[in-house]
Chains A and B, each alone.
Chain A
Amino acid sequence: MTRQRPFSGEAAHGSSSRFLAAGRLYWLLLSAGVRAKMQYKFNFISSTLIQVAGGLYDFSLIAVLLWRFKSIHGWNIYEVGVLYGVSRVGYGLYRIFGNELERFESYIVRGDFDSVLVRPWPSLFMLLSRNVELSQISLVIEGAGVGGVSAMSLVRTGALRWTDVGWLLYASLASACLYTAVAIATASAAFHIVRIEELQVFTQNAPSTAGLYPLDIYPAWLKYTLLTVIPLGLGNYIPVKFLLGKGGTWFNLAVPALACVLSLRVANRLWHLGESRYHSTGS
């Protein structure tokens, strides 16, 4: 039998091209995820449509309330619509790209996290690039629809300037980051307690519902929870409040970016803590 060149592994490239390699890999993995989903086109289309319908239904509940009672704590239907849109688009973006965090419990329960750890990239990056949940685009469509129509109406009456639409997009992206940070922190808990589905209801589902309305309507403890421990309000409520002329300063527009940097750092720290616990205990 012929003996050929011994296998010697592949070396990692330099740090600058490594960044490019990560980008390329992420793109490749995401497009693979989309192509895989497209194998089940009918399923994809029907679940997207159902979710758009479900989302519009959610908004119709608020719309009915506003139609009947005119305002929520001094916010009219268009103003609430703008806040709703920003929150929903941000949440949707998180759900599209961060879906594996949403189902992270099963990685720990079924031991699939091991397969993430034998890869030559940071585990969080490997995890997030494993799948893209395209059907959650429904949330973005619905949020952009509600937010867009509301913003247009406000622009027409002069309550909002054209340029502010850019700020609203920025707030949506920041919200997506904050949702992701909260989800990473919550998923990290799975390394310690395994079962996190109930915890996710507390830290993700309930806060994202609460964040659809102006935070002023809530009792102080709930409002400040959403501005500190679970800082989702810093991405939507704080900037939108200023843009709609309901108080605050230009600093309100800096808050989302600062909050993103800080919360992603904290989340990353928690993730590493959890991962090292996984290394020492397994599951």
Chain B
Amino acid sequence: MSESAAILTRHLSKSYFVPVRKSGFFGGLRTLISQEKREVRAVTDVSLKIRPGEFVGYIGPNGAGKSTTVKMLTGILHPTSGEAWVDGLCPQRQRQALARRIGVVFGQRSQLWWDLPTIDSFEILSAMYEVEPARYREFLKEFDDLLGLGEFLDTPVRRLSLGQRMRAELAAALIHRPPVLFLDEPTIGLDVVAKTRMREFLRQINTRHRVTILLTTHDLRDIEELCERVVVINHGHVIYDGSLDSLRDRVNLPTLLKVKYSGVPEDFRPGQYLGPEGERLDRPAEGAWKIVSIDVESRTVEVQFDRRISPVPAVLVAMQSLGEIKDISLVEPSIEDLVKRTLETPETVSGD
């Protein structure tokens, strides 16, 4: 165990057996009786060292083993093999003690009392975590400043907007001042404004109080704006651990630009490439952008390019030379693209 690690895992693995489902007549009964089991390896050999105050993004496709890892670190599940420490405690043996030192937010699940004013949830939780009354008042004041809790403290949770509710959920997870915070999709479903606000808050918590944060998300923007470090997991294996920038460098993720013209330039064809001066090429070349699709009806052209080589403004200028632009939108790559590309690149796991 190391003093300098907020979260430390060594060869953490989790596999479990699920009964093989029978279908058809009496399917349920036959499943019950049959002993046929299938092994599911949810997490394999995950070794991580996260220092106090780090903000780490933990990403991967659905079913990759993200939440299984988080469940092992919070003491919900016990590992099949390997070890874990969180804030110096073993989640498996010291679950209740650990609970006082971690905060958990599951984006899809509420820990607030639905029918009661928001303040009541805070009061209950402060009793649950045995927070001194003076410290609790301090908490309320600080989080009112930070999150603007005051505006909805007396509103029943069920009447809060999603943005307000997520702010309340976060505050609820931090009421006992945990040094480690686990966030599972905290921005899911939020609109752009609420997302921005949530990210700003997370940044403040992280820097002000040196809270170590492990964030799982499907939104690469969350990672981009918050995490200095990203861990990518796929099929239970860690396939990347390092900064987001070096991950981008390695996998060369293309950015997608959608441009709507007042009239589509005539000789555009999908599969063609566009050179830096707007010239058309039939095969890929250094610094060329791929034309992914052309929709004549909506007069929209989509091009793919590498942001490291071609900055967005340069691409825009070239596109503008081809016709009058009505509208543009930039589509960032998804986690799934990222993982796919990471797997395709030869050198996988890197140190930090």
Contacts and interface: CB of A to CB of B under 8 A. Distances in A.
A281 B112 CA distance: 27
Contact of B100 (A32, A120, A122): A120
B84 interface: no
B109 interface: yes
B175 to A, nearest CB: 9
Given A8-B179, A279-B77, A3 B208 contact: yes
A112 interface: yes
A115 interface: yes
A282 B130 CA distance: 29
A13 interface: yes
B246 interface: no
A111 B108 CA distance: 11
B47 interface: no
A262 interface: no
A112 B16 CA distance: 19
Nearest to B114: A36
Interface in B159-200: 174, 176-179
Interface in B107-136: 109, 111, 113-116, 120, 123-124, 127-131
A9 B177 contact: yes
A7 B123 contact: no
Contact of A10 (B53, B120, B130, B208): B130
Interface stretch (B89-97, B253-261, B308-316): B89-97
Chain A CB count within 10 A is highest, among B78, B92, B102, for: B78
Nearest to B209: A7
Contacts of A118: 74-76, 99, 102, 104
Contact of A21 (B17, B130, B208): B130
Contact of B177 (A10, A35, A39, A122): A10
Nearest to A110: B109
A122 to B, nearest CB: 7
A120 B97 contact: yes
Interface residues of B, number: 49
Given A2-B208, A6-B179, A122 B92 contact: no
B96 to A, nearest CB: 5
Chain B CB count within 10 A is highest, among A2, A32, A276, A279, for: A279
Contacts of A36: 113-116
Contact of B210 (A7, A13, A25): A7
Interface string A94-136: 0000000000000000011011011111100000000000000
B152 interface: no
A28 to B, nearest CB: 5
Given A1-B208, A115-B111, A279 B99 contact: no
A5 interface: yes
Contacts, number: 119
Contact of B176 (A10, A276, A282): A10
Contacts of A114: 71, 76, 106, 109
B350 interface: no
Contacts of B178: 7, 9
B106 A117 contact: no
Contact of A11 (B99, B100, B102): B100
A35 B179 CA distance: 33
Given A118-B75, A280-B16, A7 B102 contact: no
Given A6-B209, A9-B177, A121 B128 contact: yes
A8 B106 CA distance: 21
Contact of B129 (A10, A35, A112): A10
Contacts of A37: 115
7 contacts: A6-B211, A8-B179, A9-B177, A10-B176, A25-B127, A39-B116, A40-B115
Interface of A: 1-13, 21, 24-25, 28-29, 32, 35-37, 39-40, 111-112, 114-115, 117-122, 276, 279-282
Interface of B: 16-17, 52-53, 68, 71, 74-78, 80, 87, 92, 95-97, 99-102, 104, 106, 109, 111, 113-116, 120, 123-124, 127-131, 156, 174, 176-179, 204, 207-211
